[in-house]
Amino acid sequence: MPTAAVNGIQIHYTDTGGDGPVVVLSHGLLMDHSMFDRQVEALSGQYRVITWDERGHGATATPGPFTYWDSAKDVLALLDHVGVDVAVLGGMSQGGFLSLRAALLEPRRVRALILIDTQAGLEDPANVESYQQLHEIWITQGPAPVQEIVSAIILGPGNWDDWYAKWAAADREQFTHAFNALMERDDITSMLGAIECPALIIHGTADAAIPMAKAEELGDGLGGRTTLTVIDEGTHAANVSHPDDVNAAMLKFLRTLEK
């Protein structure tokens, strides 16, 4: 993977290249760029698709604590590095958190947003204690005792041995920084009206982390044209559990931007 030295970190990324419109896809917590492999496959014939490992994830380390505003600056700096002025930003869960913030920081550079199983607000207080317990076990004992619980929340039913192997090899301090960014993020719901670019909101009906009501609230709050696509039985990572449905929705939306 190529790297970009920006903002004091080394971002590892992939870039399909080409002359098509640029789409940058940002992954969720505990994931990495590879969670979008099926989307890259579907889009790369018509679009230049960039995926990346966000700070604290995959091959991209963070030197210390960070916020999603830092991650938003990272994706904008990555665009600078690859020579792209304007792009569609897509993100799943925390990838959506940072994409929304990037649109607030530099709206002229965000052609549109694709927001997969994400929201603008905070974690449900009812889930905070259980998430903190999962994190504590992960850090003190490793992911094995809780990996099936975590995969059920993010990915749903299936064989996730490849992700289990990645989690087992991951640096636990990096995970703590990423977890704290998630749990300590600010609520940007009141700022959504300032985001006026078109947005596609994709949300799975079986999302165990973010309820559909949050997707609807996100769509209502954004200042531009929004489209909500519901993925029947889609999990929190609907692009992984139901890639064909998500890909079709993304391609349909992206084509509307060319008119």
pLDDT tens for each residue of 17-39: 999 999 999 999 999 999 999 99
Instruction: For residues 235 and 241, give the distance between their C-alpha atoms in angstroms, rounded to a whole number.
Output: 6
Split at pLDDT 50, 70, 90, the class of 193 is very high
Radius of gyration of the chain (CA): 17
Positive or negative, the CA dihedral 55, 117, 85, 45 is positive
pLDDT tens for each residue of 235-257: 999 999 999 999 999 999 999 99
| Adjacent-strand bridge partners of 116 | 92, 202
| Adjacent-strand bridge partners of 114 | 90, 200
Asked if the model's pLDDT at residue 78 lies above 80, the reply is: yes
Instruction: For residues 39 and 64, give the distance between their C-alpha atoms in angstroms, rounded to a whole number.
Output: 31
Q: Which of 81, 89, 84 is nearest to 5 (CA)?
A: 81
pLDDT tens for each residue of 142-192: 999 999 999 999 999 999 999 999 999 999 999 999 999 999 999 999 999
Average pLDDT over residues 188-203: 98
Q: Which of 30, 12, 120, 167 is nearest to 74 (CA)?
A: 12
pLDDT tens for each residue of 85-121: 999 999 999 999 999 999 999 999 999 999 999 999 9
Asked if the model's pLDDT at residue 259 lies above 80, the reply is: no
What is the percentage of the chain residues whose pLDDT exceeds 70?
100
pTM: 0.97
Asked if the model's pLDDT at residue 258 lies above 90, the reply is: no
Instruction: For residues 229 and 226, give the distance between their C-alpha atoms in angstroms, rounded to a whole number.
Output: 10
Domains and CATH numbers, the chain: 3-256 (3.40.50.1820)
What are the backbone dihedrals phi and psi of residue 168, each rounded to the nearest 5 degrees, phi first?
A: -65, -30
Could you tell me which residues come within 8 angstroms of residue 106 by beta carbon, excluding any fewer than 6 positions away? 76
- Residue 67: both structure tokens together: 């916020």
Could you tell me which residues come within 8 angstroms of residue 182 by beta carbon, excluding any fewer than 6 positions away? 29, 94, 123
Chain centroid, CA 235 distance in Å: 14
Order across the sheet with 22-26: list the strands: 3-6, 9-15, 48-52, 22-26, 87-92, 110-116, 199-204, 226-231
Average pLDDT over residues 11-16: 98
Instruction: For residues 75 and 6, give the distance between their C-alpha atoms in angstroms, rounded to a whole number.
Output: 10
Instruction: For residues 128 and 179, give the distance between their C-alpha atoms in angstroms, rounded to a whole number.
Output: 11
Could you tell me which residues come within 8 angstroms of residue 212 by beta carbon, excluding any fewer than 6 positions away? 203, 205, 230
